[in-house]
């Protein structure tokens, strides 16, 4: 299992792997790396508070992983604490640019998330 710090580092390693795949495969995206992150989360249910913080950190710092990974995972996981964080931040945010990004993140919590069809796991026409 490893220490909390080792598990957190492993999570961010997987997130960066997803970012590299994102950067390299823009034309032919494969969501395999995103699935690895979801698998990791499923294997570590006791780390949920730290993982929620990690997803939030990625949303604000793209050097930690792709924001699309946060959307993808939150669509699958539907973690209310992450959604609540984004709602709270949106309510107090003045920058329209940041508000736009937060609204996009919040869309991933909706059953009809418009980007779901981009991913094999969620696409009705690819299954």
pLDDT per position as a tens digit, 79-125: 999 999 999 999 999 999 999 999 999 999 999 999 998 888 898 75
Spell out the residues 6+ positions from residue 106 whose beta carbon is closer than 8 angstroms to its own: 83, 86, 87, 90
pLDDT at 32: 87
Q: How far apart are CA 69 and CA 35, in angstroms?
A: 10
* Cα Rg of the chain (Å, integer): 14
Region of residue 124 (left: phi > 0; alpha: psi -120 to 50; beta: else): alpha
Q: How far apart are CA 69 and CA 88, in angstroms?
A: 21
Q: How far, CA to CA in Å, does 92 sit from each of 75, 81, 102, 107?
A: 24, 17, 11, 18
pLDDT at 39: 96
Q: How far apart are CA 17 and CA 85, in angstroms?
A: 25
Q: How far apart are CA 17 and CA 74, in angstroms?
A: 18
pLDDT per position as a tens digit, 9-45: 999 888 888 888 777 765 455 688 899 999 999 999 9
pLDDT at 127: 45
pLDDT at 1: 63
Q: How far apart are CA 47 and CA 108, in angstroms?
A: 22
């Amino acid at each position: 299992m490893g220490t909390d710090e080792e598990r957190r580092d492993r999570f961010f390693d997987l997130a960066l792997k997803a970012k590299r795949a994102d950067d390299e495969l823009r034309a032919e995206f494969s969501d395999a790396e995103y699935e690895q992150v979801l698998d990791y989360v499923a294997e570590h249910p006791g780390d949920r508070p730290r993982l929620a913080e990690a997803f939030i950190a990625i949303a604000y710092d793209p050097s930690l992983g792709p924001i699309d990974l946060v959307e993808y995972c939150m669509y699958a996981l539907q973690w209310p604490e992450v959604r609540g964080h984004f709602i709270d931040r949106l309510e107090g945010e003045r920058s329209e640019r940041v508000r736009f990004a937060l609204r996009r993140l919040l869309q991933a919590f909706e059953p009809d998330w418009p980007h779901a069809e981009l991913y094999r796991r969620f696409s009705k026409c690819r299954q």
